[in-house]
Amino acid sequence: MKRETLTIVGIGYVGLPLACLCGEKGYRTFGISKDKKKVALINQGVSPIKGDARLQQWVSQKSFTAVTGFESVKSSDIVIICVPTPIDEHYNPDLEPVESACKMIAKYMKRGQLIIMESTVNPGVCEEVIIPILEKGSGLTAGKDFYLAHCPERINPGDAYWNVRNIPRCVGGLNKKSLSWAVRFYRSIISGTIRPMKSLKEAEATKIIENSFRDINIAFVNELAKSFEVLGIDLLDVIEGSKTKPFAFMAHYPSCGVGGHCIPVDPYYLIERARKSGFDHKFLKLAREINNSMPRYAVDRLMKALNEIKKPIKGTSIGVLGLAYKADVDDLRESPAVEIVSILKEEGAKVEIFDPYFPKRSTAPSLEEMLRKVDAVILATDHREFKEMNLLNFKKAQIKVVVDGKNCLDSITIAKMGILYRGIGK
Ligand code: SAJ
């Protein structure tokens, strides 16, 4: 069957690997970004997302055409929306990127197209927000003149195995034709299972609960980290013990906070949507509160340790190791490390930063150089460089306190050097 032509709106962490894959599978593929520099880079075969060698390899194939305008929508059979769905400063879902993408698509839409939403949205957005914008802007009728499906994106930045080509997906459709076309499309590009859902709403809810599940389980161990501190119990050891149970237990780990574009964001979508229908998600909100409290908890651990050696945090030089929200990615979205930096500054500390993925935001060219400038450190991101560092560097730099926000350093070796070590839960 002749491969369709398709346009992907948004070529970031989600849209870029998808566009490469669709091109490789024989679809005439266009990828839209408003960033001219990014479009030029991609068309030269260079990935704008640093630190991901596999993605760079895919982009180097030049299997699709990056563009800045929406004209390609006119000649496309399928249009896939992969724009960000962030939250605003009040933790409310910000659908503006989705709405403006739909308004632009509507201008160029034609009869018989399949529109697929991959961006994470709360249940109801496809029918209550997206369809009205597409119908108003195009004069077409959803389900009759064009088809709509939702296939929530699933990506795990930095994951060596799971990627857009093999991660199973769930697909919901506005009607039978929407669903069957979307399922056929995803089965043509992805080796993982493609599960048809009952409707758009179930597909929207699937993604939200996957990540809310992760957020509440992380909040559970983060609360345990605080209670086990006063009980004098090593939580990490307890988790390793619980992990020996071969069923009905799934380990999560305490840390200085929960960042990224998914886990700390998606629960707010459900909280807000349910609130509008009169239901108060107390549990989800409490989990968010606990996880949002962890950057402050990490700084409190540092302040207590400095007090033990009669050093006030005010005026003390503190090094923050890592800015990224998780190991070995160059992504700052909702990063706890950024929150830790601002709390340290509020407390009057002199803050130094080193993150190998953010040289421009680092205040020293290397880890060693940064250590020489500080009296204490907070590790906020478990980058490989930090996990593999020579711990003697702490001693050489006369570091007094190490707060290990990701529990990834050898606490015994550090303590043996006469340095105060504090983990999160250990
Ligand atoms: N974190 C903890 N404790 C844990 C696990 C994570 O504190 O036990 C923190 C991380 O340090 C990070 C944040 O939570 O700051 C998110 O971690 P993550 O591993 O969930 O990383 P993400 O945001 O890349 O999540 C992605 C998810 N992506 C999407 O939903 C689009 C999702 O695929 C998975 O939940 C997750 O990867 C995964 O499985 O690793």
Whether residue 192 is found in the same domain as residue 261:
no
Q: Which helix (H) or strand (E) segment is 392 a member of?
A: helix 392-396
Q: What is the pLDDT, as a whole number, of residue 60?
A: 97
Structural tokens at position 283: 């549990």
Integer Cα distance of 257 and 355 in angstroms: 17
Ligand 1 centre to CA of 73 (Å) is 33
Q: Which long-range contacts (CB under 8 A, 24 or more apart) does 173-180 make?
A: 173/147, 173/148, 173/149, 173/199, 173/200, 174/126, 174/127, 174/131, 174/142, 174/143, 174/147, 174/148, 174/149, 174/200, 175/143, 175/147, 177/143, 177/147, 178/114, 178/143, 178/147, 178/148, 178/149, 179/149
Ligand 1 centre to CA of 143 (Å) is 35
How many residues make up the chain in this entry? 426
Which residue, 198, 231, 248, sits at the end of a domain?
198
Integer Cα distance of 66 and 417 in angstroms: 53
Residues in contact with 57: Cβ distance below 8 Å, sequence separation at least 6, in sequence order: none
Integer Cα distance of 56 and 47 in angstroms: 5
Residues in contact with 191: Cβ distance below 8 Å, sequence separation at least 6, in sequence order: 165, 166
Residue 262 catalytic? Answer: yes
Integer Cα distance of 182 and 180 in angstroms: 6
Is 252 near ligand 1, meaning CB less than 6 Å away?
A: yes
Q: What is the pLDDT, as a whole number, of residue 83?
A: 97
Q: What is the pLDDT, as a whole number, of residue 234?
A: 97
Integer Cα distance of 419 and 398 in angstroms: 9
Ligand 1 centre to CA of 297 (Å) is 20
Whether residue 186 is found in the same domain as residue 217:
no
Going from the C-alpha of 194 to that of each of 179, 182, 238, 334, the distances in angstroms are 11, 10, 37, 30
Is 301 near ligand 1, meaning CB less than 6 Å away?
A: no
Q: What is the pLDDT, as a whole number, of residue 158?
A: 77
Whether residue 208 is found in the same domain as residue 355:
yes
Is 253 near ligand 1, meaning CB less than 6 Å away?
A: yes
Whether residue 226 is found in the same domain as residue 353:
yes
Which residue, 171, 198, 225, sits at the end of a domain?
198
**Domain region containing 266:** 199-426
Whether residue 275 is found in the same domain as residue 382:
yes
CA angle 390, 396, 400 (to 5 degrees): 100
Whether residue 259 is found in the same domain as residue 356:
yes
Q: What is the dihedral of CA 219, 221, 222, 226, to 10 degrees?
A: 140
Whether residue 184 is found in the same domain as residue 274:
no
User: Which stretches of the chain drop beneath a pLDDT of 70?
Assistant: 1-2
Q: What is the pLDDT, as a whole number, of residue 2?
A: 63
Residues in contact with 90: Cβ distance below 8 Å, sequence separation at least 6, in sequence order: none
Is 211 near ligand 1, meaning CB less than 6 Å away?
A: yes
Which residue, 198, 215, 240, sits at the end of a domain?
198
Whether residue 189 is found in the same domain as residue 211:
no
Dihedral sign for Cα 208, 213, 218, 220, please. positive
Residue bearing the CA closest to ligand 1, atom 25:
156
Q: What is the pLDDT, as a whole number, of residue 89?
A: 85
Is 288 near ligand 1, meaning CB less than 6 Å away?
A: no
Q: Using the atom order of ligand 1, give the atom closest to the CA of residue 256.
A: 7
CB 362 within 8 A of CB 370: yes
Whether residue 211 is found in the same domain as residue 245:
yes
Whether residue 211 is found in the same domain as residue 99:
no
CB 391 within 8 A of CB 414: yes
Alpha helices, DSSP H, located in 243-293:
266-276, 282-292
Q: Using the atom order of ligand 1, give the atom closest to the CA of residue 259.
A: 15
Integer Cα distance of 203 and 292 in angstroms: 27
Number of domains comprising the chain: 2
CATH number at residue 397: 3.40.50.720
Structural tokens at position 260: 């990224």
Whether residue 124 is found in the same domain as residue 86:
yes
Whether residue 216 is found in the same domain as residue 165:
no
Question: Phi and psi dihedrals of 119, rounded to 5?
Answer: -60, 145
The three-class DSSP label of residue 191 is: coil
